[in-house]
């Protein structure tokens, strides 16, 4: 793990520790889960999308779920905020979407990490985009 990824993991662990103080028990005990991690950035970096999610998911262990073995579907994506991209509000609550747009439009925000974990009600295998 490179120094940039180590720093990202450390920051994620610090933020998760703050949340942990407000949460009295693990959110998902034995459910089958999915994760969606999107790293928005304005600066060039060498983080691979596939290496991005593992340290973050490790940091969520015992806070959001018992063990990351519960996650059977994992999506990780990097989005360069200086490049063209499309952002959909299709499956995100309006208040989260609004805060996300606000942060994306704030030029002082150089890094933004969106972490979503939820129950996977049915296992659907799909190919392609």
The pLDDT value recorded for residue 111 is 87
Which domains does the chain possess?
A: 3-119 (3.30.1330)
pLDDT in tens, 83-95: 999 998 888 889 8
Least confident span in 19-28, 34-43, 119-128: 19-28
pLDDT at 11 over 90: no
Instruction: Supply the pTM of this predicted model.
Output: 0.80
pLDDT band at 124 (very low <50, low <70, confident <90, very high): confident
pLDDT band at 10 (very low <50, low <70, confident <90, very high): confident
**How would DSSP label each residue in the chain?**
--HHHHHHHHHHHHHHHHHHTT--S-SBSS--EEEEEEEEESS-----HHHHHHHHHHHHBTTTBS-GGGEEEEEEEEEETTS------TTS-HHHHHHHHHHHH-TT--EEEEEEEEE--S-------
């Amino acid at each position: 793990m490179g120094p940039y990824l180590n720093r990202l993991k450390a920051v994620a662990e610090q933020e998760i520790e703050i949340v942990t103080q407000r949460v009295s028990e693990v959110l998902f005990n034995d459910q089958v889960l999915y994760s969606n991690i999107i790293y928005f950035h304005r600066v060039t970096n060498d983080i691979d999308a596939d290496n991005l999610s593992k340290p973050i998911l490790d940091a969520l262990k015992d806070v959001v779920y018992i063990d990351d073995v519960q996650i059977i579907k994992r999506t990780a994506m990097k989005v360069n905020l200086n490049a063209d991209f499309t952002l959909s509000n299709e499956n995100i609550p309006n208040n989260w979407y609004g805060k996300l747009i606000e942060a994306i439009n704030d030029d002082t925000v150089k890094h933004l990490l969106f972490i979503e974990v939820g129950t996977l009600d049915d296992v659907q295998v799909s190919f392609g985009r």
